[in-house]
Structure 1
Amino acid sequence: MPPTPISLPDGAVILSLTSPGFDAAYPRVVNKGLIPPDVLEPMEWAWTTRRFPERPVRVLRLTDVWVAKEGLVFDRDGTLYRETITQHSAGEVEQARAAVLEAIGRGGPVAEPDAGGPVLLCKKRGIGNYGHWLMEMLPKAQLVHRHLPELGARFLVAHAPGQLNDTMAFSLSMLGIDLARTIVADDTPRRFADLLLVDGLSEHGGYMSPLVLDSAEAMAGRVPAAGVEQLFVTRRSTGFRRVVGEDDLIALAQSRGYAPVDPGALTLPQQVSLFKGARRIVGVMGAAMTNIAFAPPGARVVTLAPAGMPDTFFWFIATLRGLDYAEVRCLQSGPVRGVMPWDTDLVLSARDRERIFAD
């Protein structure tokens, strides 16, 4: 049986910030009855929380540790730090531990630690998802870059698929971070003499700190608003989780003054610019809708969501940003085209097609 994971040591904390408390309102959910009870239950916990109290956000400095998989951190003996388990399964954790123990056992030059100075871990579960990067990994880079510049930290990021690599580079540059100071890593265990960790910014599905918006605001400050006030966000480039009869829906959106946009086909600065000026945004729930983090407070956001998709991520963003948020739950149709059971086509009723664009 593997050893019990250990907690990050309090003595390793080098900076502690207070994440402000915030109030939250239950979202407007259309067709809530379509949501299966086992999907609704975990979302209800967050949705019914009226006040998220202030809490600490810590930066810790660890000596001689291993990083494996999507940000799992082990001490020099191969014992896992509990706080770095972010949606990893027990099997994935054990695979990572076995790989670390094998690397420790090899010894020699292969196992020598990186000793080039402090490295900040900007890698967690969900490395292939734009939303996870923008709201859960990039904010860590912004926090250390802003509050601990004297460390001259480097930044450990994942090797992400496709265009996301360019997006990650764009975002770091927009924060003023020199890309020469990044280390791109795959799942292979790597040993570091000096590793920085940020703990407490988010718990996927259960909490998001207001401090995560610091990076979004810094990026938005670098580009002008595009001047488009109404956006209809499509998923054409993604190829799944799309509305049945989307062409007709786009035509309807255009007749109501909405500009169709496929963020997956745009550069990051173009996406930031478009959403920065948008006052009304409608789109299918997915990574591209993370861009509502750049929208002005008070903007109206409607997400079209599969009935069986458990998600509070976009509600948290809207709450922190002060957006007028609603989601329309849709029947699911056809085969699963992505990796999750809710990655099907969506059926939007004629009535819902009208009201998502109504005042």
Structure 2
Amino acid sequence: MTPTVRSLPEDAVIQCITSPAFDASPPRLLGQAHLPENVACVLEPIWSISHFPAAEIRIFHLKDVWVAKEGLVFDAEGNLFEETITQHTSSEIETAYEAVVTARCEPTMSTEFGPVALCKKRGIGNYGHWMLEMLPRAYLVHKNVEVSGLRFLIAKNSGRLAESMALSLMSIGIPPSQVIPADDTPRRFEQILMVDGLTHHGAFFSPLVLDPLEAIARPIPLGSPIKILVLRRSTGFRLLAEEDKIICHALERGYTVVDPGLMSLGDQIALFKRASRIVGIMGAAMTNIVFAAPSTPIVTVAPGGMMDTFFWFLAILRGLEYMEVRCPPIGPVRGNSPWDTDLFLDPALYGPVFDGT
């Protein structure tokens, strides 16, 4: 079954916030020969945008709605709000709709009463999506909407990600008592507050996404500068081929080798806040470049076919010196995406990667 798709109602807007304009420049790119033509055709038009004008972010107050899957919102009749479709596939949308249709017929289905801010979207299990897309929604509503009994709907996670989510929320003034963790099961809400226009993954990030992260990082002391090499061993995929050789090279040049996937949120922030140069594999851990000081050199080692502008946007917004090194794949796919193979970093590029030469 496929739902009818509708736009959010204009009369439901309760707040309009101006997102500041900002300028951008293309990344310094090495290994361009490993960037497939179909991927380049998507990335290069975005990289070539030199100015992002001021934009409008709106907060909607919706009544009697259903939330399913990764933040899909349906009205009381089962129509899907188009603005909540964020990289969901047709199959996922159909599955969510069928679940909502079934739930609407359940006589025992309960309703969550009172205002609830939607802080759940596609990418619920990814640290980067939480920190740059979901947490900023919570922050905007928390800071701009005065309403009694406000709670925040987030995705249910476990392990270090769940710990990071809870700590980051508390750091911006939202205690666990105001949080509703939810899985994919449809839930009915009397009132949902929804932020639209803050991000459009791959195409736009408002500078306002940095506000909660700066608030979280501000109290953490600044340590002495260090250069860091960011690895992904804890994930088990998208690793560097000949990694031990690369680690030795980095250590000889004074780098500290880290795996943020094994660290607490506070330790990650402290580490990246003091970094004088950051080299790392494109992935969630590199989200932490947002805590680096402006002008810090960032080198992202990326799979040739990975269609991603996320870290370029972060570098632009934070004012970082950003370089992307595209690498050929080696070995089998170990993750969920075709680019989740090991990566071969050409030794001829060690100079520009680690020394900036």
Q: Is the 8 A contact 2:72 2:84 kept in 1?
A: yes
Q: Give CA-to-partner distance per residue, 1:304-343, whole Å, 9 cap, x none.
A: 0000101100000000000000010011000001110000
Match for residue 14 of structure 2? 14
Write out per-residue CA displacement over residues 181-218 of structure 1, whole angstroms, 9 at most, x where no aligned residue: 10010000000001010000101101000000001101
Give the C-alpha shift of residue 147 in structure 1: 1.7
2:212 alignment counterpart: 215
How far does the alpha carbon of each residue in 1:81-103 deviate from its partner, in whole angstroms, 9 at most, with x for none? 00000000011101101110111
Q: Does structure 2 conserve the Cα–Cα contact (< 8 Å) formed by 1:14 and 1:60?
A: yes
Alignment of 1:108-257 (within 5 A): 108-110=107-109, 112-115=110-113, 117-257=114-254
Tell me by how many angstroms 1:355 deviates. 2.2
Query: SS of the residue aligned with 1:215?
Result: helix
The equivalences for 1:272-351 within 5 A come to 272-351=269-348
Alignment partners' CA distance in 1, 2:151 and 2:223: 33
TM value normalised by structure 1: 0.97
Aligned letter for 1:159? K
- Please list every run of 5 or more consecutive structure 1 residues that lacks an aligned counterpart in the other structure: none
Structure 1 residue 4, shift from structure 2 partner = 3.2
Per the TM alignment, residue 144 of structure 1 is displaced from its structure 2 partner at its CA by 1.2
Partner amino acid, structure 1, of 2:299: V
The Cα shift of 1:175 comes to 1.3
Q: CA deviation at 1:17?
A: 0.3
CA distance in 1, matches of 2:274, 2:36: 36
Give, in angstroms, the shift of residue 303 of structure 1: 0.3
- TM-score where L is the length of structure 2: 0.97
CA contact (8 A) 2:3 2:97 kept: no
Match of 1:269 among 266, 285, 301: 266
Residues 3, 78 of structure 2: 8 Å contact kept: no
Deviation at 1:254, TM superposition (A): 1.4
Residue 58 of structure 2 aligns to a residue in which SS? strand
Alpha-carbon shift at residue 227 of structure 1 (Å): 2.5
CA RMSD of aligned residues (A): 1.2
35-44 vs 305-314, greater mean Cα deviation: 35-44
Q: Give the structure 1 partner of residue 48 of structure 2.
A: 48
Q: State the distance in 2 between where 1:226 and 1:78 align.
A: 53
Q: Deviations over 1:229-284 (max 9, x none)?
A: 31111111111111111112111111111111110110001001111111210000
Mapped partners of 2:148, 2:206: distance in 1: 24
The equivalent of 1:24 in structure 2 is 24
Deviates more, 1:161-170 or 1:341-350: 161-170
Q: Distance in 1 between matches of 2:183 and 2:60?
A: 23
* Counterpart contact for 2:73–2:84, Cα < 8 Å: yes
Paired AA for residue 74 in structure 2: F
- In structure 2, C-alpha distance between the alignment counterparts of 1:3 and 1:159, rounded to whole Å: 25
1:149: Cα distance to partner?
Answer: 4.1
Partner of residue 92, structure 1: 92
2-structure distance, mates of 1:219, 1:149 = 22
Q: Work out the CA distance in 2 between the residues paired with 1:210 and 1:53.
A: 11
| Residues 3, 94 of structure 2: 8 Å contact kept | no
Please tell me whether the aligned partners of residues 2 and 93 of structure 2 are also in contact (alpha carbons under 8 angstroms): no
Q: Give 1:114's aligned amino acid.
A: E
Q: How many residues align?
A: 356
Residue 114 of structure 1 aligns to a residue in which SS?
A: strand
**Would the aligned equivalents of 1:122 and 1:138 in 2 still touch at CA under 8 Å?**
yes
CA distance in 2, matches of 1:25, 1:252: 30
Aligned AA for 1:185? A
**Cα distance in structure 2, aligned partners of 1:99 and 1:317:** 36
Q: How many angstroms does 1:41 deviate by?
A: 1.1
User: Structure 2: any 5+ residue segments left out of the alignment?
Assistant: none
Between 1:322-331 and 1:39-48, the stretch displaced more is 39-48
Q: Does 1:357 align with 2:354?
A: yes
Aligned to 1:64: 64
- Distance in structure 1 (CA, Å) of the matches to 2:145 and 2:8: 20
Q: Is the 8 A contact 1:174 1:222 kept in 2?
A: no
